[in-house]
Each structure stands twice: as C-alpha cells, then as structure tokens.
Structure 1
Amino acid sequence: MKTEKKMQLALQLVSGYGVESSAWRMPGTDPAAYTNTDSYVEMAKMAEKGKFQMVFIADTPVLGGDLRRQSPTFPMDPMLALMAVARETERIGLVATLSTTFNYPYNLARQFKALDVISHGRVGWNAVTTSNPAAAANFGAQPLSRKERYAMAHESIQIVQALWGSWEEGAWTLDVEGGQFADMDKIKPINLQGHYHGSRGPLAIPPSEQGQPVIFQAGGGYEGLELAGSYASGVYANPYDIESAREQRQAIRQSAVRFGRNPDDIKLIAGFIFSIGSTEEEALDRRRQLMSLASDEIPDRVRYLGAMIGLALSVDAMDINEPIPTEMLKRAYPSPQDPRSPRALELALKGLSIRDILAHGVINYHPVVAGTPTQVADFMEEWFLAEAVDGFSVVPDIAFDGVEDFVNLVVPILQERGLYHEDYEGETLREHMGVPYQYGPL
C-alpha cells in the first residue's frame, strides 16, 4: 500500500552492545565496545546508509544496574558520543537526552547549539526531568516533586531557547574588508530570571543552518503533554499496543493545538526492539541465547512474569522449558497495572513454554518483534498506517550485526511498500523531520 506520508526512523544508540544486558557477551561483539567510540560511529554510519532521520541517545546521570554481569545502559557521555558521530557523518540527525533538573540552562544551550553549528544543523535535544534519587545524590541534591521538576523544565527550556536566539540573524557579518566580525547591536542579553533558573546571556554562538536544535520530549502524564505541546517537535514514547499509541499521539497533537501550534509539527516516535532471523524460530533462538548468557536474571524474570498474569511462578517450582500448567492458567489474569500483561497472557494461553514467553520480550521496556525482516516490517506498517505513530526509535537487541541487518533487510521492504523515503530530502534535522525552521522561542 503506497502512502504519501513517510515514516521516520531513529536508531537508538545504547551502550555499544545493544539493548539486552547480555549482548556484550554475544559472539562477534567487541566486549570493550563501551569505551570504543568507533562502535557508535559505525552504527551511525550504517543508519545513515539506511537514510535514518536521526540517531538517538537516551541517558540518565547515574550508574544503573549491576556491572558485575551487565553492561551499562548508556554511552559514557551522550554529547561526546554525538560529537564523534558528527565528525564522521554528513546527513543523519543527532539527538541526545540531557536533564533539565540537574543542568544549568546556559550549559545546555551552549553544548547543544555548539554541536548544532559544528554538524551544520543536525542536532536535537531530548529535554527530560529526572526523578531518580541516586541521580539527585550525584549532584548533591534531593529529588524534587513532579510539580517542581516540570516547573523547572519550563523555565529551563524557555531560557535555553532565548539563549539560542540571542544572536539576531545577520549578526555574524564576517566583514573582512570593513573589519567587522559581528554586529554587536544584533547580539543582545536575554535577562531572564525565574524561580529556579536565570541567565543574562547572550550566548556566544551564531545560528546554525536549521536556526537552532530541535526539541524533543519523553515524559508522560499531563505535565509531559503540556511540555511537549509547548515546545517539542518530537516525542519519544513507549506504548505497547496500537490503541495506546494512537491515543498518546492524539493527545500530543491536541496539546500542540492548545498552545497555538500546528499538530503536524510534532512527531510521535515510538520505541521498539527487534531481533531478526531468516525465520521466526531463528530470531527466537537469538533471544534464547541472550537469555542463557544472563541466566542469573531468569529467576527474577520468571517471578515478574508471574506477577504480570496473577500467578506465583518460580524456577524452583516448575520447569521453565514447559508451558504453565493448565490448572494454573485458569486463574491467570492480566495485571491492570502493567500494559505488557495482556500480551504475556496471550502467549501463555497459546501453550508456549515459560522460557519462550520471556524470549518474546514480554517484560522488555519496549515492544519486541522477533522474526523475519518481513515480520518486522509488517509490525511497523500496521502501526504506521493506523496513525498510531509518525515513526519509530528502533533498538537493536545486539548492535554489532543487528543494525546492519535492519538497514540491509528491513529498510528495503519499507521502501518497496512506499512507507519510507528513498533518500534525504534536505540537509538539516528539521528538514528530515518536516518541522519548521525555528530561531529563538516559538
């Protein structure tokens, strides 16, 4: 089915290994990829070959997980990783997460705009709040209430955008003969002061080819919708089914309208994890192997699966290579607190073994598609044509071969179906996304 509208793709750069905690141990993976900047560069170059609109780095300023057996979840530093990528790529967008809770607006404005100028207008900022108590402790602070975090976020984004626009367009004259580097009458302080943040300005950086970085947002709830509707051109979301994705997209578009914006100028990008094989069974084998390399996590996963469907499951009481007993399943029900639960129960009722239910990724943070390239493309097509998403943030299970397989095997199917573009339509991230030029606050 051909469509004029094309989906957008972001490649989520995790930690050099892929999203699964045991990916660092998989055959072919460089165990030291975490500190090897070339691993991020090569993934980004492969995504650029696939005409991805952007690469995306999520981040939380805290050490998460137990590194005795798990790899880190994020790169060492998102901005430095993207700086390396910027120097080795030409067209692909570069989006990083940095918190409004534990960063001064001036530093945020300076870092992102400098990278935007260096990359010729390819940068985006995923502006998020941080509630993690361990992250707060890293900054010698206490966690803030949700109300405080979002009030601070509004101030932060307003100051950052004012700083981005503190050079009027045309201020950078570079008049060699006249001896004028810049017109200081067009470079002015912003003099903003709020309850949490303030800045005099100006920023010492001229506009980029797209004016200023694109703002993204990833928080949920009413406060997240308000932040997105006010400022964002992209929203990273984590829905588990088409219906919830469609509802979230509509809510975001309605929020844009409430703040006087065109709803088409804000794009919902949904995350999903892929495992590709020549058959569905081969893709599931890949996931089974990942699970076997993280065997110490299996007891907790089994218990959590049980909680999702209202049953007491444990590795001590049953063989996880067998289906859940029929008598137990008669008492099963999907937890209303976990949107992943209906899918878990559906697979259990089909008679899959506990191990295979987990292999399907029912407790992963994003939906998991384990199958052939066609099955992956079918999933994306269904969500896109249902107007549940504007695009996807694709997350490889294992990075070293997963990104290449997606680009070489899935992208051509999407292009053949008319769902995805053949080449970049412009030079900047704003052009890639089809959102307006912006310089300074909206």
Structure 2
Amino acid sequence: MRNMKKQMKIVLQMVSGYGGEFKTWRLPKAKEDVYTDMDFYVEMAQLAEKGKLHALFMADTPALVNDLTHDTPMHSMDPLIAMTSVARATKHIGLVGTFSTTFNEPYNLARHLKALDVISHGRVGWNAVTTSTPATAANFGTQLKSTQERYGRAHEMIEAVQGLWGSWEKGAYIHDKQAGQFADMSQIKPLNYQGDYIQTKGPLPIPPSEQGQPPIFQAGPSPEGIRLAGRFASGVYANPFTIEEAREYRNILRESAIAHGRSADDINVFTGFMFTIADSKEEALARRRAVLEFDKEELAHRLSYLGAMVGLNFQGIDPYQPLPDSWLKLARTNPHDPRSPHALEVLKEGYSPVDTLAHGVINYHPVVVGTAKDVADFLQEWFEAGATDGFSIVPDLAHDGVRAFVEQVVPILQERGLFHKDYEGSTLREHLGVPYQYGI
C-alpha cells in the first residue's frame, strides 16, 4: 500500500553544471570544462533520477550577468538545449526550464516547449519569469518595461502559449493508415489571440503529450508575482531564510491560488537550499574555507559585508580567530537583512569570521555545511514545520555533491518516511500531484 503521509518533493538546480558556489570549479575533484559538456549534464541527471528526485531545474537569464574572470557562469549555455540533451537520456525525472515572458514570442516558445514535452513523454515544465535585467533588454534592442507592463504581458503570454498548446485538440491525431486520414482538421483550430501585448493566430500543429501540456512554474515574491503564481503556477521557487518567513510566503501563495478559483494544493513551493556534505562538519567547513581562499580580494569583501551585517568592523583583527567576548557584546543584528541573526548566532558559537562565512551565512539560500544527517535534519525541520512543500537543492559542487545527496541524504529521508521511494507516475504533473491540463 502506498504511504499516505505527505512527503517532500525535491528538484535539483543544475546551474551551469558546476554547482552553486562559483569558485568550486577549482577544487581537485572538479572537471573544469563541464560548462560545454552535455555528457556531464546527462550524467548528473541520470544520478538524480536514480535518487528519484522529482525534476531538474535550469534557471536562465538571456544575458551575461556575472564576471567570468574567476567564476563559472550562473546558467547553462542554453536551457532548451540542455533539457533536450537530458530528455533523451532519462525516463522519469521532470525537466523545468526558465524562459522569459518578456523576451520571447508565444508561438516560438509554445512550439519549443510542447515539442520537448511530447518527445519526453510529458516531463517538461516552464518557469515563466518576466526578466528585469537591463543587460537582457539591451540584448534584444529595447529598454526595460515597467513592472505593470511586464506582468501584463506575462499574463497574456501564458494565456497565449497555453491556448496554442490546446489548439490541436486531443482527438485530432488520428494517423489511420487504412482510412488514409492523418489528422482531423476540424479539431485543429486557429487561436486568434488578441491581447494588449500579445497577438498570435495559430494553430500549433503538435498533439498533446501524456500530461497534456507543461505545468507552469514561477519565481518572485512581489505582489504581481504572487498573483501570477496564484493564477497559473503548479510550482513556485522561493528563497526565504527562516521557517517563519517561508511559512508566511507559502500561506500567501496558497491564498492566491484559492482567490483564483484553484485548490491551495495546486501550488508546490520549492525552497532554495544549498549544501556541502562531508564525513564531518569540520571537513565540510575546511572545503568551504579552501574555496574562500581562492580569491583573497573577494574574501576581504565578504568579511566587510559580514561585519556590516552584525554591526562590527573586522579591520585590524585576525579573521581566522574567534571574536573576543567584548566584541560579541557589541554585535547587533541588522533588521533589514534576514540572514543577520543566523550570522551572529554562528559567531557567538565561537567560530571565526572566516569560518562563519564558510557556514554560508551570506549566501542567497539557506546553507547546511556538515554531514548527510545534518542536511536531512534541516530538510525535515522545515518540511514538518509547514514551511515548504519541498526543496530546490544546490550542491556547492555538482561533481560530488549530487552523488552525496542521492547516496547519503535520500536514504535517510526515505527511512524517515519523508521522501518517496519511487515515482508516482510517468509525467511531471504526476510527480507534482497536480491536475492534467490541456489548453487555457
């Protein structure tokens, strides 16, 4: 009998193939050229599938958004190409890619994603984002639009794409040799979508996949993003730093789904989470210290940033030694930075400023540095607190981090009844537990 206890869902962020820390490519275990190695992407995807992870997630911004002098890119060369490479080498794991609603046209995007959904047998998802980087606008020869216009277009873009997906009706694909009829043209109809920002005729000549069409994902906690998620999203990527913050955001999203006539359970919240796994916490911290040491100038900048977070100036002290009690008594959390309380807590535990940075206290996700059990304990605490439906996990280094999670953390979660032992079906919608959908 299937375990009826609610279980967490887990997706793996692929980043650029290296991991979530952009200097780990220099570690001895890293393969330095995986940015251009789709075989490595496939290897990581197959390993994630072995661990029954629900999906791979490929973030993207169609622009160069970080300095590559010393750091690896933040994204793959092209998410569609990476997803296609992985689709043909896997059978179960979902494939979610980020594609802009601002810098794409509905027909091209609908065609790409639906074709990939068909060839993957219903495993594709679309992370629909409005994109707000000036560099991206410049790449497309335009200026950034206002928030109102970007989100107005986003609603129409998703409507138009879903309308195109449904323009080949479910019974239209006949391919009957004896009768000589390939398709029923009365069931393949133009969409003729006319919006304020989007116009497209259609139809799109592609039949449905096993899940009908890709589910929508969303990222971004703004009021406009919450409305977009409530209307369309089956998955939302979130970046809270505390359980309380995460629980509040999840409740807001569930309320938004209900306000748009949907079930609260139609939205799965995936909390971003980074980790470094080793046989001991000290070994894991040593690895992260080694990464910090690759760039002394950046380390100095991070120490200054950490000092500002807790109201201290670290100039003139040895950052490799714990702070004296007299300093810790002067430290104060920054009310405008949700990471600040955790940073001060680690300093008060007796860790040096450098070791505190090694704990990941200024990362853009919560970070666990320690053993597989430490990671499992963190995931369990957040999940059982009702803070999230699952996690979007990011290893510091993919080369050994994905394997460590699959072979060490997943069994612990399964033993505790918190994570499934096999896929619930064959499509991404089945993995997510959300309804079949076809068309708008």
Q: TM-score, normalised by structure 2?
A: 0.97
Q: How far is the alpha carbon of 1:425 from its aligned partner?
A: 1.4
1:295 maps to what in 2? 296
Q: Percent identity?
A: 60
Q: Which runs of 5 or more structure 1 residues have no equivalent in the other structure?
A: none
Instruction: After TM superposition, list the pairs within 5 Å mapping 1:329-368 onto structure 2.
Output: 329-368=328-367
Find the residue that maps to 2:18 and give its secondary structure. coil
1:178 maps to what in 2? 179
1:166 maps to what in 2? 167
Q: How far is the alpha carbon of 1:337 from its aligned partner?
A: 2.0
Q: Judge conservation of contact 1:190–1:200 (CA < 8 Å) in 2.
A: yes
Which amino acid is 2:231 matched to?
A: S
Which amino acid is 2:159 matched to?
A: Q
2:39 maps to what in 1? 38
Q: How far is the alpha carbon of 1:293 from its aligned partner?
A: 2.0
CA-to-aligned-CA distance 1:130-180 (integer Å, 9 cap, x gap): 111111111111112222211111111111111111111111111111111
Find the residue that maps to 2:180 and give its secondary structure. coil
Instruction: After TM superposition, list the pairs within 5 Å mapping 1:41-440 onto structure 2.
Output: 41-314=42-315, 317-440=316-439
Q: Counterparts of 1:142 and 1:129 in 2: how far apart (Å)? A: 13
Find the residue that maps to 1:388 and give its secondary structure. coil
Say which is worse superposed, 89-98 or 64-73, in terms of deviation.
64-73
Q: How far is the alpha carbon of 1:203 from its aligned partner?
A: 0.8
Q: Judge conservation of contact 1:21–1:294 (CA < 8 Å) in 2.
A: no
Q: How far is the alpha carbon of 1:3 from its aligned partner?
A: 6.8
Find the residue that maps to 2:154 and give its secondary structure. helix
Find the residue that maps to 2:181 and give its secondary structure. coil
Which amino acid is 1:391 matched to?
A: G
Find the residue that maps to 2:207 and give its secondary structure. coil
1:17 maps to what in 2? 18
Q: Counterparts of 1:184 and 1:390 in 2: how far apart (Å)? A: 42
Q: Counterparts of 2:62 and 2:17 in 1: how far apart (Å)? A: 17
Q: Counterparts of 1:367 and 1:160 in 2: how far apart (Å)? A: 34
CA-to-aligned-CA distance 1:305-360 (integer Å, 9 cap, x gap): 1222223334xx32210233444433322222221111111112223101011000
Q: Counterparts of 2:143 and 2:344 in 1: how far apart (Å)? A: 39
Q: Counterparts of 2:348 and 2:311 in 1: how far apart (Å)? A: 13
Find the residue that maps to 1:233 and give its secondary structure. strand
Which stretches of structure 1, 4 residues or longer, exceed 6 Å deviation after superposition? Answer: none
Say which is worse superposed, 61-70 or 75-84, in terms of deviation.
61-70
Q: Counterparts of 1:16 and 1:233 in 2: how far apart (Å)? A: 25
Find the residue that maps to 1:435 and give its secondary structure. coil
Q: Judge conservation of contact 1:96–1:125 (CA < 8 Å) in 2.
A: yes
Q: Counterparts of 2:236 and 2:323 in 1: how far apart (Å)? A: 38
Alignment size in residue pairs: 438
Q: Judge conservation of contact 1:310–1:334 (CA < 8 Å) in 2.
A: yes
Q: How far is the alpha carbon of 1:68 from its aligned partner?
A: 1.1
Q: Judge conservation of contact 1:129–1:219 (CA < 8 Å) in 2.
A: no
1:4 maps to what in 2? 5
Q: Counterparts of 1:149 and 1:331 in 2: how far apart (Å)? A: 45
Q: Which runs of 5 or more structure 2 residues have no equivalent in the other structure?
A: none
Say which is worse superposed, 293-302 or 338-347, in terms of deviation.
293-302
Q: TM-score, normalised by structure 1?
A: 0.97
1:26 maps to what in 2? 27
Q: Judge conservation of contact 1:3–1:419 (CA < 8 Å) in 2.
A: no
